[in-house]
Every structure is written in structure tokens, then in C-alpha cells.
Structure 1
Amino acid sequence: MTNKNCSFSTWLKNLEKLDRKKIYNLIELKSIAKKLDLLNLTSFIFTVAGTNGKGTTCAMLERLLLNSGYQVGLYTSPHLVNFVERVRVNGLVLNESEHVCAFQNVESARNNISLTYFEFITLSALILFKKYALDILILEVGLGGRLDATNIIDSNISIITNIGIDHTSFLGADRNSIAREKSGIFRAHKISVIGETDIPDSVYEIAKEKKTILKTINTDWLWKKKDNYWDFIHSRVQLYNLPITRIPLSNAATALSALYYSNLKINEKVIRQSISKIQLSGRFQVVSTCPYVIIDVAHNPDAAFYLSKKIDEINVKGKIYAVVGILKDKDILGIINPLRKKVHYWFTAPLKTIRTASKNQLKNIFPIYNTSVLNSINEAYKKALILAEKEDAIIVFGSFITISEFLSSEKKI
């Protein structure tokens, strides 16, 4: 693919040329992983799948395990600003030279076998984790589960946060089909924690077929929100009066459930002291309060609905302006509809990717009477900032790429 002695930036440019969407079977990927001795890692492994909430669930697992004294590796995607965000060892990103070394190892091992972008970087992440001999690995699934590159690894605990409609051209057009793909991460005689309240039949079918041990919300564990605290009830523990988290409580509870089923030693005091401090960049992140400027990676209808509910909680006294960038293969109408009655004016723009919705596509879908279609997210944000007064709010959302462009802008707050 590239000269093995290339710089980090050159490696990334060449990796970007690899197919991001094509899905192969995992046989050849496993053969490369076996050659690299990556299939028998000694770490305890969590694999996290789901339509939404994977990142925050992983963040909760990582922080609680680190604060409990474990050596932890986290593999997550996509990144917001810099590729190195995708791999963390003990809460820290690694230097570029370590990534280059891992890329070189993958390139040497693959010979002429074709790899997608995600397959290549998953192998490189596993190489880095093996180097550090970590106690625990947390692997966030990139797309689906069954044919995702992370699924070459046998996890000790698998997690499905929720099941919504997204990536339909690859995972299927209905929740049952999508759930079947996500359930591909199940392993025989291992526990699988399900945070979804409306579980499709295919989850139970795959669990029976694979002989996995399902642990489901409201049956094996549950959580209840009170006024300013919440309770977590589990078959192995009962925690009352927990502090409210910055991340969705459903994801915090799913992470806690998986931790307790893992039998890893987690002190209750660590949980109580840690959970209210955990936050993930780009997940209802307040970057300004006068006016409110909130950024969120919401990029499908379920995530947009949750964003809408969170906006209600902050009780904006003035107007709400939205800055939106969306990919062309997404349910654009489904993403903007949950906020349609709240937003006074929309500023939308194409993103800096060939996958972006075009200006014409945006014009045809967004409301005609209160929308401006601009040339970039940066320009759209500047326009919103000019109009916004102190009691107003600007919500930036629609895609991970939207938030990446916002954060990379020289004019960010």
C-alpha cells in the first residue's frame, strides 16, 4: 500500500484511500491477525456494539476500571480531531511513531490481502495493545458486529447498548435484521449485556444459536432515575442514591451492569466518586453558556430524539439556532424532525467529505422559510453566532464530521 518508512501523515493519507464501506468475511483478516499473534490476547476483553451510546458506554467502562487500578486499553471510533484519539492506553493517546510502527507491522503481515480502512487500523490497534500487555481491553464495534473487524477477537463480555435504524444498506432495513448483525459479537457460554428495552426476536435467536448467556435490562438488572439521583439494581449488587451522570444514564447503567457481570473488582466508593465526572467530547458538550453553544454527534433519528430531550432540560429562555451537517446516506428528515418544533432557524452546509449531503439535497429537505444553506460548517456557525443573543442557544449536530469541523475551526469558542 505504501512505503513502510513513510511519515505518520503519509500513512494516514494512504489509509484514507482504502475502502471504508466494503465488508469482507473475517477469514482472511483472522489469518493476518494469527500471523501477528493477536488472537490469543491475555487481557480481559469487553466488546461494545449498538446504534448509539457505544462511545459513552466505553468511556464509563474505561474510567471506572482505570480508577480501580487496572491497566486499560480502549479502541474507539471515529475520532473527532486527530487519528490518535482512536487508541488509548491507560487513558492516554500514544505518540505518532508508535502508530507508524504498528502500521508497518500490519503492512508486512498482510502481503497482498486487501483490507478495508477499519480492518487495517483495528489490527494496528491490537498490535499496540499487545505491546503494553494490558489487564483489560475495551473494543468499540465500528459497524454492526458480525462482520466488524473487532469481531475477530473473542470477548469475555459483549455489550449491545441499543438497536436503532442506521446503516441500513449494510445491516438491513429493519430492527430485527440490524439486531441480528449486532448479535454476531455473542460468544458461547459468555455473558452478553443488553441495554435495549425493546429487544428484537433475532437477539434471542442468535443467543440461543450461539449458546450465549443473555443479561437484559428490566429482567436481570435495571435503573431508576429520581429527582437528583438514581438507583442501580443488579442481580449482584444494589446501589442507591448514585450521583447523576453527564452521559446518558442508560449507557452508564449498561456499563455498570457489564462491570458487575465481569467479576472484576470495582469498589463502590470508586463508582460514586467517578461517575458524575465522566464526559465524552461531542456528546451534548456545552462549550459556551452565553449564549449556549452545544455540540453533539447525533447522526441518526434515535440520537436526535435524545438530543431534543436534553435541550428541554437546559431550559433555553431565548431562541434556538441549529448548525447542521449530515451525510447523504443518512435519514436526514428523521434527524431534523425531533428538533423541528424547537429550532427557530437552521444553518446547514455540506461537509468536507464526498459522503456529504449536497447543497441541493439540503435545500430540498430543510424547511424553506427558516433555513440558510451555506458553504461550510464554519460559515454556518459564524452566521448563527452573529444572530444569537445571550439567552439563545446554538446547537451544532448531525455527524461526527460536523463536530470535527467545528472543533477544528479557528473560530471555535
Structure 2
Amino acid sequence: MINKNYSLSMWLKKLERLNTKKTVNLTKLKWIAQKLDVLHFKSFIFTVAGTNGKGTTCKMLEQLLLYSGYQVGLYTSPHLFDYKERIRVNGLVLNAEDHISSFQNIELIRQSISLTYFEFITLSALILFKRYLLDFIILEVGLGGRLDATNIINSDVSIITNIGIDHVNVLGKDRESIAREKSGIFRENKIAVIGETNIPNSMNKIALEKKTILKKINIDWFWNKKDNYWNFIHPNVQLYNLPITQIPLSNAALALSSIYYSGIQIDQNIIRKYIATIQLPGRFEIISVSPYVIRDVAHNPDAALYLFNKLDEMHITGKIHAVVGILQDKDILGIINQLKNKIDYWWTSPLKNIRTATKIQLKHAFPIHNTSIFNSIHEAYKTVSMIAKKEDLILIFGSFFAISELFS
């Protein structure tokens, strides 16, 4: 029964209690989507999957298309501070009433069919996009690809950022298995733009089976970085002396490549003017200096390696303190090993999340020396803030939940 007096926060609490262990059934999800009339769009659709860099690739796509005058819808996850961040239309979040209305529509249609939180909110995003005359829709895959709720939609261009080891309990324990799941977003006779430099055989096999046209980095398109600029080479365009971006160049180049493979022509002046201004909260985000305070949502070894390289570029003369909050189903030791030669002191704690790593798990994973374990991420950050010198750097990283809990 629908309670018309529910606020958005009440709805979200209701959705968080939905069956998280439900067996994925895209057929039933498609049935609901068909009833809601959100299976087919006139908009051009990008679907973005991968282990890391999905959010930054989506952000670059969205902003370049908006600066070019197009109407754009973006569905991304997870959010940092506010659920409404997940669904944007023309760069703006929608009001609570819009979200509540879409939730009510789904509740009326689904009847007794069980949905997970992500399935429910994916349907909501599609309902909200349907209300606007959008030129483009960008869908970020939540987990994997083949069985992800976003995969009920047939995209025009699919994008794979990279293939790393994460979510092994769902996607498999090796890159071949993970690539197979992510390749589930491929479509027949459609282009898939691949940013992964070491493509697993399973991805090539699925592309062949589905007759998907792969466009691979360093084979079909290229980018290279110089000291203070970078170059982008594509069959449709060659861009030299581009300004360095605030997001990873690999994701900026992937977004550019995907735009050009879609057949869209973007004014090069727009790219040069705006590409260096585009950023995404929580991705090596410098929030203060003297000492530097940087927050990042790196939560797997590949993302931690990117962090190591970014820290190395900064040439910090003082100490580097890491304030870490992470979930127990992540490769905590793998993350630490990528950064152990760069971090001087570790400050960590459990999070206010049922999936958090416990104090015992943190104690076993982090180095014996130079590690302090606290009761909360707030306590950890407050402590290091009091002792850090102006030449030091405080890196706050790990789960999205860590950043949200500390800064909300």
C-alpha cells in the first residue's frame, strides 16, 4: 500500500529495506519497465561499465555534451552526500517531489514483484528521464553489467573503462570472469569503446558472439601525456596540446573517444576551453592546503595505485597521513600494499555501515607500526588534524561511505 504522505527520506528508508538477496531477474524487471513505458527512448544512450573510473568518464561525457548545447540525463551511483545526486537532468538535481512521484508510479505497477534497491531506483531514473526531451542519456552500471538493472536498456554505445579485481563474491575471482560479466552490456552491431589496455579473452569472445564492434585503446584510438599537455588521436579527429584535466586522463580520453564514435561532432574550442575545468567530488579532490587535505573514494587496489601515482606527483616534503574507512568485502590488504611505501601514518576506524570492516579486521590488515584505530572516522580525522604540520598531507580515502560519513 502506498502512503502518499511519505517524504523522500521515508521512501529511501523503505527502499533500503528491500530484499538485497533477491535473485536477479531482468525479465521481470523488463516487464515492469514495459508497463511504465521506460524501456525505449528516442535519446542516444551511453552505458558505462568498468571497475574504476565510471563516474569520472560519465562526468566528462555529461559536461562536454552540455557545453555543446545538448539536453543530457545522467544516472550514476553511488552518491556521496545526497540521494538526489544520482539522477541529473541538464546538470541539475531534481526536487524531492519528482523522486517521490516516480517511486509511487513504480509501487503501483510492480504489484507483488520483488525489487532490490538498485532495481527500484534505476526504474525511477528512467521514469524521470522520460519526462524530458533529452538528446542523450548516460547510464552508469552499478555492478558488473550482464545482470545489472541498467542492462534492460539497449544502449547505442557501450563503454568499458577497465577490468580490475573487485566484487569477487558476485563477479568472479579473476579478470576473465569479471570481464565476461561487464561485457554483458555489449549490443549486436553496436560500438563498444574499451579503455582497458590488457583485454581479457572473454571480452573478445563475447564481442565476437554478439557481433559487437570493439574500439580499443592503443589500437583504434590513442592518447599520450607530455609534461604539461596531452594529445588525443582518433579516426575522426586529432587533438594536440590539450590542457591537463583534473580527472584521470585515461577517463577523459575514453569519454572523448566515445563521443566521437557516436558520430557527434563537438567544437574543438569547447573541448579546449572546458576540459580542464571538469571535476568530480571525491576523486582526488583537494579541499584545503597547508596542510593539504585530499579526499578520494579509492576502494580497490587499482584505484589505490592511481592514488599512489598522484601522491608521487605532488612531491610532499612533510608526512603523508591516511585517514581510511573501508568495507569488509574489499581487498583491504591489496589496497594497503599499493600505498604502504607512500603513507607515513595510518588512521582508521569502522564506519556506520553494516558492511564495515571491524576493528579486529582493521588491526589484522593494517601495518603493526604507525597505525592508530579509532571508534569513528570523525575521531580519526580530528586527531590527525590536530597534529598535522603545514607541510604534511592528509589523505582521506576508502569507501564512499567514509567520505559521506565524515563530511555530511
User: TM-score range, shorter-chain basis?
Assistant: over 0.9
Corresponding residue number in structure 2 for 1:173: 173
Which residue does 1:411 correspond to in 2?
Answer: none
Equivalents in 2 of 1:21, 1:265: separation in Å? 44
Quick one: percent identity of the two aligned structures?
69
8 Å CA contact retained: 1:2, 1:11: no
Matched, 1:151 2:185: no
Deviation of the 1:368 alpha carbon: 1.8
3-state DSSP class of the match of 2:266? coil
For 1:271 and 1:61, locate their aligned partners in 2 and report how far apart those are by CA, in whole Å: 11
Q: Which residue of 2 aligns with 1:75?
A: 75
In 1, Cα distance between equivalents of 2:395 and 2:265: 40
Q: 2:226 — aligned with what?
A: 226
- Distance change in 2, residues 1:290/1:237 (3 Å): same
Once the two structures are superposed, the pairs formed by residues 6-405 of structure 1 within 5 Å of their partners are 6-20=6-20, 22-405=22-405
> Secondary structure of the residue that 1:30 maps to in structure 2?
helix
Matched residue type, 2:128: L
TM-score (norm. length: structure 1)? 0.97
**Stretches of 4+ moved more than 6 A in 1?**
none
Structure 1 residue 19 displacement after superposition = 3.4
TM-score (norm 2): 0.99
Deviations 1:324-368 (A, max 9, x none): 011011100011111111111111000110000001111111112
Gap runs ≥5 in structure 1: 409-413
Q: CA contact under 8 A between 2:145 and 2:183: conserved in structure 1?
A: yes
Q: Give distance in 2, aligned partners of 1:23 and 1:382.
A: 42
Partners of 1:219 and 1:2 lie apart in 2 by 53
Aligned partner letter, 1:268: Q
Unmatched runs of 5 consecutive residues or more in structure 2: none
Tell me how far apart the structure 1 counterparts of residues 36 and 12 of structure 2 sit (CA, whole Å).
21
Aligned with 1:193: secondary structure?
Answer: strand
Displacement of 1:2: 5.2
SS in 2 for 1:394: strand
CA deviation map 1:232-260 (0-9, x unaligned): 00111111000000000000000000000
Amino acid at match of 2:348: T
Partner SS for 2:350: coil
* 1:327 and 1:356 in contact (8 A); partners too: yes
- 1:2/1:14 contact within 8 Å kept: no
What CA distance in whole angstroms lies between the structure 1 residues aligned with 2:383 and 2:322?
A: 11
Write the letter of the residue equivalent to 1:395.
L
Per the alignment, in what secondary structure is the counterpart of residue 276 of structure 2? Answer: helix
Number of equivalences: 408
Contact 1:301/1:331 (<8 A) preserved: yes
Deviations 1:39-94 (A, max 9, x none): 11111000000000000000000000000000000000000000000000000000
Residue 407 (structure 1) aligns with: 407
CA contact (8 A) 2:171 2:177 kept: yes
